[in-house]
Structure 1
Amino acid sequence: MTRSSRNAWRRAVAVVAVAAGIGVGIGPLGATAEAGTASAKGAARPVVTRAALDPALVKGRGADLGFVEQEAENAVTDGEVIGPDRTAYTLPAEASGRRAVTLRPGQYVEFTLPSAANAITVRYSIPDAPGGGGITAPLDVTVDGRARRTMTLTSQYAWLYNQYPFSNDPQAGLLHDDWWITECGCVPNATTPAPAISKPFRPNHFYDEQRLLLGRTYKAGDRVRLTVPTRAGAVPTTVDLLDSQLVAPPRVSLLAANVLAFGADPTGRRDSAGALDKAIAFARRAHLKVYVPPGTYQVNRHIIVDDVTIEGAGSWYTVFKGKEVALDSPAPDNSVHTGVGFYGKDASAGGSRDVHLSGFAIEGDVRERIDTDQVNGVGGAMSDSTIDGLYIHHTKVGLWFDGPMSNLRITNNVITDQIADGLNFHTGVTDSVVRNNLVRNSGDDGLAMWSERTGNARNTFDRNTVQTPVLANGIAIYGGTDNTVSGNLIADPVREGSALQVGSRFGAEPFTGHLWITGNTTVRAGTYELNWNIGLGAIWFYALERNIDADIRVTGDHFLDSTYNAIMLVADWPVKDTYSIRNVHFKDIRVDGTGTSVVSARVAGSATFENVDARNVGAVGVNNCGSFNFPATGSEFSLTDLGGNDGGGTTGPWLGAWQLPNTITCDDRPPVVAPPGPAPW
């Protein structure tokens, strides 16, 4: 979510780590090292993963976008392997798989290509500048010891600090000294003497990524080495992963309105927004599509699209890149900046229709979170439209839609390094599909349906991969009717959220009809919520503003290596006797590893369980606190056993007859027992 209505919920979060100076500027190296740095270590043969898992464990789930993922900790390196650690505000916690490799000048990490490739993406972190704002640093790339290229890494779009909505200044004081602060256990402006808060306060959002075309195709077995040089400007660099792929040649479209004919500048020296407007107007009159050849096109404002097809040569070749521009006065929507983005007309003006965007990259310039700003990669309202094959980087939200609107298809896109959400269906989006997209390093929910004021209905999030959302959830559904979340892979949420959340909050309309959550896999999910001082579930049902009582079916999902519990149902304390969660049905579920329980119930209501198999459960299978009134009749939350609920952990079967229907088994904060890693079932 990206609106100021979230402020009341953004209070204290985990206190860990702290930013010590490393080389130039600020940057915690993170947690424990698994091995020394004296000699190279790791696997010479390529270890291919998906969300740092064996691909066999997630077959058929998540996005397939033609690249191969390799984790740095599995490669050959003479650097320092950091992690594993899931503690917020540390470099390992924000890394894929919760581990990475830190290289100091002169050190390297080397990946063996598992298949032919001509392009790589490097996910990395380098320190901030001492006063904030980021630095740049070199990283050398060689293949088989030859063809050296230098990437110029940046931390200008990373490193946020402080309380929501965050600061770029590592020395800033508290943004809200009237909020509860976990670190001091106090409300600072009500405390005498005022507490000393360490600075930088709550550093986060450490990582960025950069893409590189290698100039030729290399074969399987060739070795890509990333080296931090010893020359000027080099700094300690943490490498998380490398994606490699074979990118197709640029697409050429001859029967189209070519933007070059209208004055667009592919070198990026001149602003091309006006030329794009002219090409779009001509294409609409001539019933042609707009073609954008390879190049980098400077665009510093929204391009308004309606009844038009805009096709690039491919997201590796056609790039729209712009600066964030301060407005002389706030816009009617309260934006104080504008920037590069493709926007449908506002829904109040009828919205846009028949818009088709494909084959290009959007490179934004958003470095701070201002919730009123419309500085998203794609926005507005678009019905009967498609968005396919885009790469969206460094915008506020990758794609944000304000309905009413319908029949939008969003497919095969990569959305990374956002300040806020990856994608949000906000108000009145219906009959639309988000399929086969990667969202990585979002600053808020990876994918969200937020039914504020007007409900979202009959939408589907299918076969997407969401990795390392720094704040909030991987996939969040806030109200709505007859929506589906299916076949997704969600990994490594960092703080204040879960892999999957079903929430009655943020002014959302009620859940009605049904909600299907089917065939998804979560891994290393569930974060620590210090306001409540408890761990969240990999899937989290939250009744804050209404009852949740639609027909909700969680079927065929796999919850792997959950940090705390796999399934959590909760109401906030002030409304615990007002709202309930009912009519939730779990069937054909696998739970492989929990730090605490399979089910944690902290609300009134009920749920059914059928063929829920569990193993490596850290604590009692069911932690049933109900509404914390502890009546003699048992918990206010009831569990119904429909059969086939097998397995468990150290305390025996996870769902025993003695727990049914509503035995109080409340351990408010059970100790965490880290499970073994996921394995074939």
Structure 2
Amino acid sequence: MSVRPRWSALVLGALLGVTGTAHPASAASDRQFTRAALDPSLTAGRGANVAFVEQEAEHARTNGTVIGPDRTAYTLPAEASGRSAVTLDPGEFVEFTLPRAANAITVRYSIPDAPAGGGITAPLAVTTRHVSRTMTLTSQYSWLYNQYQFTDDPQADLLHPDWWITECQCVPAATTPAPVITKPFRPMHFYDEQRLLLGRTHRAGERIRLTARGVPTTIDLLDSELVGAPKVDLAGVNVLLFGADPTGRRDAAPAIEKAIAYAKKTHRRVYLPPGVFQVNRHIVVDDVTIGGAGNWYTIVKGRQVTLDAPAPDGSRHAGVGFYGRSAAEGGSRNVHLSGFAIQGDVRERIDTDQVNGIGGAMSDSTIDGLHIQHTKVGLWFDGPMANVKVTNNIVVDQIADGLNFHTGVTNSLVRNNFVRNTGDDALAMWAEKTTNSANTFDRNTVQTPTLANGIAIYGGNDITVSGNLVADPIREGSALHAGTRFGAEPFTGYLRFTGNTTVRAGTYELNWNIGLGAIWMFALERSIDADVQVTGDHYLDSTYNAIMLVADWPVKDLYSIDGVRFEDLRIDGTGTSVLSARAGGSASFANVDARNVGAAGVNNCGRFGFPASGSEFGLTDLGGNDGGWLGPYVPNVITCNDRPPVTPPPPPSRW
């Protein structure tokens, strides 16, 4: 029997099915702003420093219905920030009181799919004392169904009838009679977001009301921001001089390429002024600097184009993107992109398609201040390549990853980026075939990846994950993950997780029928035996375990996780244990403080051999581990509860 968290079960039974509790209009907390749906003091010093402030709809004034909190996958609340939102019937409103002056807003929302899939559009009224505007919302980029790689058809049969299906505990193609699969099967990826410049500055204390029109509309949150004036670069090569259309009606790609060629010849920058520029294919960049007027003002927007025949790289579609040359061609160098938005048109996941916002290989390059939305992956780098810095970007509403350092990326940095609503790992390093080395993910914020992990490291040498804030992974992943998976090279040198905060993390793993940890280490294809240290992390309100160390069952006697050191951690709330060990190996603990632990502090199954000498996973107490969670279980006491019951902890609070 599956074990799921016992938060209120608001199961989405149909495309329009939403249940909850009426929430009367009240101003008691409508000026509250949060980070990852928490009091900002609980996440201080962690995550990206962003220009906007976040306000959760469930704290605002509304005559709609609050849904959640609920962490059950395939439901609207589970994919919402903080696992709660507000659903508005037509005519109902949610009203936010600005905590700071703002002239721009971002609304994260969900509206129903079309009955046959493909999405609909619906108006949302935005009113203030001075402004009355209408946003046209769409569900064309949300609502996926079924099994990986998913489909936008809610009535589709199983994509892989030869795969194990947890719901029926069977392989449907080999089962007689065939199981009845409820359609739509596993709906997910419900939310999208839209930005709006208000045309004037609104002072702190003014109200912004969002009113649903036409269809039920779920509002998750409002981000408000004071956007500065557009940047003007008079010394740059202006793409308008080469015929680029700033209205978005005509293809601007040829003009942009001509401007790039002229800028390289004259050793100048390329300037993308305010406007919408239509680009439906890759702009190949090498030894060039391209800057926009700011990502609220300069938008490079593309249509997805179906190719007559697959491209040599396997792509079946083309779409907007800025790409370095491939590593096989020597890659690109000295590329600097900043200050514009990339808006794609990707509505389904096709892993062979190169329809990413940024791609290729770029050494000695910088990507700064972009806003990337509706591409397959925001930034996918195929090395070998070195010394790329990805900073201060916003990556939202991706079908797959937010960013991936894939194959031989070295000496590179990802810092101060905000990533929300990815369809796979939000930030990943994947050392496939050629190892990654000396890379750092530092002070990024990740929210609501709908599948897989917040930050995932697949092999590599001398890797650092530091100062990040990761909240609300939805299913089959964790906030922080290290795994010997997907053909990755081994972990060598050191791997450091330092000073990160996770919130409401640790999801339900469908295939194993168990809950994961907020940090999850997985020995699948080889042992994890590098110098792995986890120091200074805070794990808040973990759905299941705070820490999980596991080897896959078929290789549990072959591979182990050895010598991991945990030090100076704060664990506030676990649905089950502080540590779940399902592997051979060992770990040590120093100054690991835990409170509000839902089950036994340690769930130590080892390799499931249960020898008389104790578990095959050894624990070392180095002292200072407050909360009484570790003491009874060292060095290797067997305390194996394969699927312990879940006890939701109280909300996190100041330590």
TM category (shorter chain) comes to over 0.9
CA distance in 1, matches of 2:510, 2:135: 39
In structure 2, the partner of 1:9 is none
1:400 corresponds to 2:380: yes
For 1:452-531, list aligned pairs within 5 A.
452-531=432-511
C-alpha spacing 1:283/1:472, structure 2 compared with 1 (3 Å)? same
SS of equivalent residue, structure 1 residue 48: coil
Displacement, 1:19? Answer: 4.8
Trace 1:56-75 onto structure 2 (pairs within 5 A). 56-75=41-60
1:461 is matched by which residue type in structure 2?
A: F
The answer to whether the aligner puts 1:51 opposite 2:36 as a matched pair is: yes
Q: Distance in 2 between matches of 1:205 and 1:228?
A: 21
Is the 2:145–2:151 Cα contact (8 Å) retained in structure 1? yes
- Specify the alignment match of 2:256 in structure 1: 276
Is this contact kept in 1: 2:4–2:646, CA < 8 A?
Answer: no
SS in 2 for 1:277: helix
Counterpart for residue 169 of structure 2: 185
CA distance in 1 between partners of 2:124 and 2:402 (Å): 27
Q: What SS class does the counterpart of residue 581 from structure 1 fall into?
A: strand
Alignment of 1:230-245 (within 5 A): 234-245=214-225
Report the Cα distance in structure 2 between the residues aligned to 1:131 and 1:296, rounded to whole angstroms: 31
Q: Structure 1 residue 562: deviation in Å?
A: 0.2
Q: Does 1:101 align with 2:86?
A: yes
* Displacement after TM superposition at 1:185 (Å): 1.7
Q: Give 2:635's match in structure 1, choosing from 638, 661, 670.
A: 661
Q: Which amino acid aligns with 1:46?
A: R
Partner of 1:49, secondary structure, is coil
Structure 1 distance, partners of 2:623, 2:603, is: 19
Provide the rounded CA distance (Å) in 2 between the counterparts of 1:611 and 1:333: 50
Task: Indicate if the aligned counterparts of 1:18 and 1:200 stay in contact, CA closer than 8 A.
Answer: no
Residue 155 of structure 1: how far off its partner (Å): 0.1
For the 8 Å contact 2:387–2:412, the answer to whether it is kept is yes
Counterparts of 2:37 and 2:486, CA distance in 1 = 33
2:11–2:72 Cα contact (<8 Å) kept: no
Q: Find the counterpart in structure 2 of residue 198 from structure 1.
A: 182
Q: Answer yes or no: is the 8 Å Cα contact 1:18–1:202 preserved in 2.
A: no
1:28 matched to which residue of 2?
17
Q: How does 1:148-163 map to 2 (within 5 A)?
A: 148-163=132-147
Residues of 1 paired with 2:373 and 2:30: CA distance? 31
Q: 1:331 deviation in Å? A: 1.2
Unmatched segments (≥5 aa) in structure 2:
none
SS in 1 for 2:577: coil
Tell me the alpha carbon deviations over residues 134-193 of structure 1, each in whole angstroms, 9 at most, x when there is no partner: 00000000113x421000000000000000000110000000000111111211111111
| Paired position in structure 2 for 1:566 | 546
The residue aligned with 2:559 is 579
The partner residue of 2:645 within 649, 655, 671 is: 671
Shift of 1:530: 2.4
Percent identity over the alignment is 74
Work out the CA distance in 1 between the residues paired with 2:150 and 2:120: 19
Deviations 1:595-627 (A, max 9, x none): 000000000000010000000000010000000
State the one-letter code of the partner of 1:53.
L
Amino acid at match of 1:104: D
1:14 to 1:326, Cα distance in 2 relative to 1, 3 A: farther
The alpha carbon displacement at 1:296 in A equals 0.3
Q: 4+ residue stretches of structure 1 with deviation over 4 A?
A: 12-21
Alpha-carbon distance between aligned partners in 2 of 1:197 and 1:20, rounded to the nearest angstrom:
13
Q: Does 1:125 align with 2:99?
A: no
SS in 2 for 1:85: coil
Counterparts of 1:526 and 1:195, CA distance in 2: 30
Match of 2:573 in 1: 593
Alignment match of 2:431 (pick from 451, 476, 486): 451
Evaluate the alpha carbon distance shift between residue 98 and residue 18 of structure 1 in structure 2; reply closer, same or farther with a 3 A threshold. Answer: closer
* 2-structure distance, mates of 1:407, 1:65: 24
Q: Does 1:207 align with 2:181?
A: no
The unaligned stretches of length 5 or more in structure 1 are 1-11, 648-652
- Please state whether the residue corresponding to 2:131 is helix, strand or coil: strand
In the TM superposition, residue 531 of structure 1 has moved relative to its aligned partner by 1.5
- CA RMSD across the alignment: 1.3
Tell whether 2:594 aligns with 1:605.
no
1:80 partnered with 2:65: yes
Aligned to 1:380: 360
Give 1:263's aligned residue.
243
Matched, 1:532 2:496: no
Indicate yes or no: 2:179 matched with 1:222. Answer: no
SS of residue paired to 1:675: coil
Alignment partner of 1:281: what SS?
A: helix
Q: CA deviation at 1:357?
A: 0.3
Q: CA deviation at 1:27?
A: 3.2
**Corresponding residue number in structure 1 for 2:159:** 175
**Count of aligned pairs between the two proteins:** 651
CA distance in 1, matches of 2:3, 2:346: 24
What's the counterpart of residue 8 of structure 1? Answer: none
Counterpart Cα distance in 2 of 1:455 and 1:191: 42
3-state DSSP class of the match of 2:240? helix
Secondary structure of 1:179's counterpart equals coil
* Alignment-mate amino acid for residue 210 of structure 2: L
